[in-house]
Amino acid sequence: MIAKFEKVSLAYDAGRDILSALDFNLEEGEFVFLTGPSGAGKTSLLKLLYLALRPTSGRVMLFGEDVTAAPRRALPNLRRRIGVVFQEFRLLDHLTAFENVALPMKVAGVNQGQYREDVRELLNWVGLADRVDARPPTLSGGEKQRIALARALVAKPDLILADEPTGNVDPAMGEKIMKLFIELNKLGAAVVVATHDISLIEALGKPMLRLEGGRLSDASRPAVRKGRRS
């Protein structure tokens, strides 16, 4: 099991609950859409999954570990198993596309010789082999999103989280990006995509978790066919 939420609630600054009593499991090889209106708590739920926040109450399990009260020193190893694609890209303008993708490996202290080919292969896979040396200010929204996706994948994560990955690109580019997520899922990674685009969810026919007012109103999901990494 990738993740398990048990009666998880989240409140900011001791105010009202942003998320209330959430119960759900995320299995290996599963692809799930997370949807709901603006302010429903989608981004907050993702933050719990990538360990940027801890719940106010309840229990969160990740990769079999109870992370609810785990010491901070235990979290980096778990975070390395998670790739995050942020809605606002979070690229560094002074770095090239190659350097932005490689950043997680550099921060982890990995020698460039160990990841150089992986970074180039990822940039080729997302269709940006000719933009290796380009910096974010010269790139389109779609190109920035694909670089952000490549950066999320460079450490070969078991779980990929994406917050509105098609929100800043045109429909054609959004379709290409979603196809990349589907391919990753086929290779074995669990994928959670937060989106308000119901037409996108219906077109792909993937399982859905729906948040309304901080609660899960629809957690109906069919049986999952587990992927296998090549």
Structural domains for the chain: 1-81+157-230 (3.40.50.300), 91-154 (no CATH)
Give SS3 for 138: helix
Confidence label for 226 from pLDDT (cuts 50, 70 and 90): very low
pLDDT value of position 222: 44
Tokens at 158, concatenated: 């078991």
pLDDT tens, 140-173? 988 999 999 999 999 999 999 999 888 877 888 7
Q: Give, in order, the Cα–Cα distances in Å from 117 to each of 61, 111, 114, 121.
A: 34, 12, 8, 6
Q: What is the per-residue pLDDT for 87?
A: 85
Q: Residues 26-55: pLDDT tens digits? A: 999 999 999 998 888 999 999 999 999 999
Q: Would you call 177 helix, strand, or coil by DSSP?
A: helix
pLDDT higher at 103 or 169: 103
pLDDT of the residue at 177: 85
- The CA-atom distances, in angstroms, between 3 and each of 63, 147, 151, 199 are 6, 26, 22, 27
Quick one: pLDDT at residue 196? 85
Residue 179's pLDDT band, with cuts at 50, 70 and 90, is confident
Whether the per-residue pLDDT at 225 is higher than 80: the answer is no
The pLDDT value recorded for residue 224 is 40
| DSSP state letters, 88-131 | T----TTS-HHHHHHHHHHHTT--HHHHHHHHHHHHHHTT-GGG
- Mean pLDDT, the chain, rounded, equals 88
d(CA 225, CA 218): 20
Check: CB of residue 21 under 8 Å from CB of residue 58: yes
Residue 7 has pLDDT above 90, yes or no: yes
Q: What angle do CA 99, 104, 106 make, to 5 degrees?
A: 65
